[in-house]
């Protein structure tokens, strides 16, 4: 059984195609964690490489950092430092959108994912919040749009950390997100 929370949602792109994003599921978070783990590689590789070349205290520091990274991967979840670092990138964001699309659109192409992500544009915080079970209000939407771009990353991290604090409709779906047609190039 795949535990889930949040709500499925529909996105309509400027080409009038409708896409259904899944709600956040444990299986999605696990696939994201595996992707991040693959990006990181062996946390102990650096310590192993330098163990004979560095003083004991420096080697111990590298080993502790590797243990911390290993522990972070074991407890990986939205809002964690690693989630923010990797999913906050363009590549990571596209990977997450692909995972949210996979259940209803298993044959979606990378080009389509880029188009969908571009179409979502400034609505991405709302999409992520709904996927995780929280529906933002008009004031939150306006505040996000007015934010300095550097602050947006922090804001998205805060949203990820607040999983499950909102509400969804009784059907588990939400109305479609309207996206600006000018956001696709």
pLDDT of residue 173: 40
Spatial contact of 32 and 171, defined as CB atoms under 8 Å apart: no
pLDDT of residue 70: 92
CA distance 49 to 63: 11
Residues of the chain with pLDDT under 50: 163-185
pLDDT of residue 35: 96
pLDDT of residue 103: 94
pLDDT of residue 179: 40
pLDDT of residue 140: 66
Q: How is the chain split into domains, by residue range? A: 15-166
pTM of the prediction? Answer: 0.68
Euclidean distance between the first and the last CA atom of the chain, given in angstroms as a whole number: 40
pLDDT of residue 136: 61
CA distance 139 to 142: 5
Q: Which residues pair with 4 in a beta bridge?
A: 25
């Amino acid at each position: 059984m795949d535990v889930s929370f949040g709500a499925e949602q529909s996105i309509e792109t400027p080409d009038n195609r409708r896409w259904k994003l899944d709600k956040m599921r444990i299986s999605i978070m696990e696939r994201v964690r595996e992707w991040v783990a693959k990006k990181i590689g062996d946390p102990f590789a650096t310590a192993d490489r330098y163990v004979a070349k560095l003083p004991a205290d420096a080697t111990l520091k590298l080993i502790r950092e590797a243990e911390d990274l290993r522990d972070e991967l074991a407890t990986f979840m939205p809002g964690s430092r690693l989630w923010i670092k990797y999913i906050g990138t363009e590549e990571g964001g596209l990977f997450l959108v692909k995972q949210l699309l996979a259940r209803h659109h298993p044959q979606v192409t990378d080009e389509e994912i880029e188009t969908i992500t571009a179409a979502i544009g400034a609505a991405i915080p709302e999409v992520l919040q709904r996927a995780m079970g929280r529906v933002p209000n008009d004031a939150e939407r306006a505040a996000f749009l007015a934010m300095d771009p550097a602050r947006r990353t922090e804001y998205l991290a805060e949203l990820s950390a607040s999983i499950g604090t909102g509400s969804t409709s009784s059907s588990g779906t939400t109305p479609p997100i309207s996206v600006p047609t000018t956001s696709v190039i």
